[in-house]
Amino acid sequence: MMVVLKGIKKSFAPREGEKESPPALTGVSLEVGEGELVVLVGPSGCGKSTTLRMVAGLDEPDSGDVFVGGRSMRGVAPQDRDVAMVFQGYALYPHMTVRENLEFPLKMRGIRKGERGAMAEDAARMLRIEGLLGRLPKELSGGERQRVAMGRALVRKPRVFLFDEPLSNLDAALRADLRLEIGSLVRRLGATALYVTHDHVEAMTLADRIAVMQAGKLLQFAPPREVYEHPATSFVATFLGSPRMNLLAARVEGGEVLAGPFRLPRPRFSVPDRLQVGVRPEDLTLQETGAAGVLEAVEPLGAESHLVVRVADVVLRLRVPGFASWRRGDAVNVALDLGKLHWFGESGTNLDLSERR
C-alpha cells in the first residue's frame, strides 16, 4: 500500500465566541494502493481537506497514523514526504513566467539549472503547455493556469499526488476536459493519487475506488460501480447519482412491504417493521399499469428527460431516455423494477449488505 491512514482523529479548538464543534475526523482508516486513484467525496465540511492535509503534513492528527510508501509520517515535514498537492485556486507566482513557475519547486530543492530546465520541459510536454513556457500567468486562461499549477506538482515526480478540488473554479466544459486529462495523466505516470471533490460526477468518472465521507466518517470505500449499485447507507445512495435516488418510507404488512404507493414482495433477507426503500430514477418507468399519479414537471436535457411525478403524497423522480412525449398535468402510472430496489433501515444502513456480511 502506498498511502495508509490508520484511525485518524482530529478536532479543532473552537475559535473565540464559537461553541465546541464535533470532531473534523472521527477515526478515518483508508488504504491507497500503488498506482491507484482514490477519490474522497462528500458534502462540504465532511473532512475531505483535513484528511488530505494529514497526508501532506500540513496538519497533524490528534491520534492515528499516516504511512507513505510504508514509512510512518509522524514528525516528517511536508517537503520530506514525497507528496505534492494541487488545490483549487492554486496561486502561481504572478511575476514569473510559466517556465520559472515550473522550475521554482526544483530550485527550492537545490536542483541544478540545466537539469531544472529539462525537467520543466518534460512536465510541460505532458500537460501540453510547451507553447506557453514564456508567458506570465496573467496571459493564460483559467484552464491553462490550472495546467501549470498541476505541472508544478508534477515536475518533481512525487510518489503521491494530492488533489483538493482542483477543478471547482473552472466552468463546466473546461472542468469536463480537465477531468479527463487528470485521469489519463495520473494513469500514464502510474502515479498514486488521492483526489478530493464534492462533485459526484468527478468521483464516479475518475476513481478506481471512491471513499464517501460524511461528518468526519468514512461511510464506504469501494469501486464506483459497487458504490452506485450497493450503497452502504441511504446517504451514500442519495449522494451519488443525479437526480437523486428516491427514498420511500416503508413498513412491513404481512408478507408484503408497503413502500409509498407501492406494494412489494418481502425481500429474502430479514427486514425491520419500519424501513426505507430506495429506487433510482432510471429504475422507475411510466407504464400502462402501476401507481397512478400526476406528472408535475418535465425537464428535457436532450439525451434524457427528468420527470417529477406525484403519487398521492409521494414525489417520485424518473429518468427516461430522449424527449418525453408527456406533458405537465398528464395522468400517468409509475412502475418500478423489482430487481433494482435498495433496502435501508430507519437509521439508513443497507439491510441487504449488512445481512451479507
Ligand X SMILES: Nc1ncnc2c1ncn2[C@@H]1O[C@H](COP(=O)(O)OP(=O)(O)O)[C@@H](O)[C@H]1O
Query: In this chain, which of 47, 49, 116, 212 binds Mg ion, going by CB under 5 A?
Result: 49
| Binding of ligand X by 200 (CB under 6 A) | no
| CA triple 141-144-149, angle to 5 deg | 125
The residue assigned the cell 520541459 is 121
Instruction: Closer to ligand X by CB, 169 or 285: give it.
Output: 169
Q: Who's near 309: CB < 8 A, 6+ residues apart?
A: 286, 293, 294, 295, 296, 315, 316, 317, 318, 332, 334
Query: In this chain, which of 3, 30, 41, 47 binds ligand X, going by CB under 6 A?
Result: 47
Task: Find, among 142, 148, 143, 107, the residue nearest to 124 by Cα.
Answer: 148
Buried b / exposed e over 218-242, threshold 16 CB at 10 Å, is: bbbbbebeebbebbbbbbbbbbbbe
Compute the least distance from the CB of residue 44 to ligand X, in Å: 4
Alpha helices (H) in the chain, listed in sequence order: 48-56, 98-108, 113-126, 142-154, 172-188, 200-206, 224-229, 234-239, 351-356
Query: In this chain, which of 4, 5, 8, 24 binds ligand X, going by CB under 6 A?
Result: 24
Task: Find, among 160, 123, 127, 119, the residue nearest to 144 by Cα.
Answer: 127
The residue assigned the cell 503521491 is 160
| Binding of ligand X by 166 (CB under 6 A) | no
Compute the least distance from the CB of residue 46 to Mg ion, in Å: 9
Q: Who's near 320: CB < 8 A, 6+ residues apart?
A: 285, 286, 304, 305, 307
70 touches 148 (CB < 8 A): no
Query: In this chain, which of 12, 93, 269, 323 binds ligand X, going by CB under 6 A?
Result: 12
Query: In this chain, which of 32, 38, 46, 56 binds ligand X, going by CB under 6 A?
Result: 46
| Binding of Mg ion by 101 (CB under 5 A) | no
- Region of 43-51, 200-208, 277-285, 320-328 interacting with ligand X (CB under 6 A): 43-51
Query: In this chain, which of 3, 28, 36, 48 binds ligand X, going by CB under 6 A?
Result: 48
Compute the least distance from the CB of residue 48 to ligand X, in Å: 3
Q: What is the x/- site pattern for ligand X, positions 222-261, by CB under 6 A?
A: ----------------------------------------
Compute the least distance from the CB of residue 53 to ligand X, in Å: 7
Q: Which does 214 bind (CB under 5 to 8 A by kind): Mg ion, ligand X, none?
A: none
Query: In this chain, which of 4, 49, 85, 207 binds ligand X, going by CB under 6 A?
Result: 49
Residues that bind ligand X (CB under 6 A): 12, 21, 24, 42, 44-50
